Amino acid sequence: MADALVHFICGSTGAGKTSYAIALAARIGAARFSIDEWMSLLFWPDAPQPIDPGWALERVERCRSLIWSTAADIGGRGMPCVLEIGLTSVAARKAMAATASEARLTHCFYLLDTPAEERWRRVEARNRAGSAQLDFAITREMFDYVETMWEPPSAEEYGNHDWVIVR
């Protein structure tokens, strides 16, 4: 999969996506894009309190769109990109795969398959440590809300795209 130009990192909250994306980008000499980093710099400082999911999702989509256009330009020049952009649903991953194919960019998906209990333990540890990833702690309520949005890849997805499973 290292020869693909676009590497999509997938998994639910606390799966280790950012750590994996950093390591993968370093290993293959890729540009790395993280939706959490973009959101932290561009929007979280101005977020309404309490955070409104609709407000946040609209801004996530704006960031995802700009990240993709930048990554497509870079990939079109032959440099690989690692995208950690919150592809939580089957539909979102299918759309990005189609978009990458339309741009004639080889791509693969990486699933960080970590059990929910371990992911919550990691989130709690990150909250206690004051993570640099986000400007706020992820509460159990937020974690559970995102869990309802996460759709693991289906058998059809595995058959239609290249996947690397990371456990």
Interval 14-30: pLDDT, tens: 999 999 999 999 999 99
CATH class of 6-166: alpha beta
| CA-closest candidate to residue 80, choices 53, 50, 110, 125 | 110
- Identify the pLDDT of residue 49: 84
Q: Break the chain into its structural domains and give their ranges.
A: 6-166
Q: What is the DSSP letter of 46?
A: G
Length of the chain, in residues: 167
Residues 88-125 pLDDT 10s: 999 999 999 999 999 999 999 999 999 999 999 999 99
What number is the average pLDDT over the span 30-53? Answer: 85
What whole-number percentage of the chain has pLDDT above 70?
A: 95
pLDDT band at 133 (very low <50, low <70, confident <90, very high): low
User: What type of residue sits at position 11?
Assistant: G
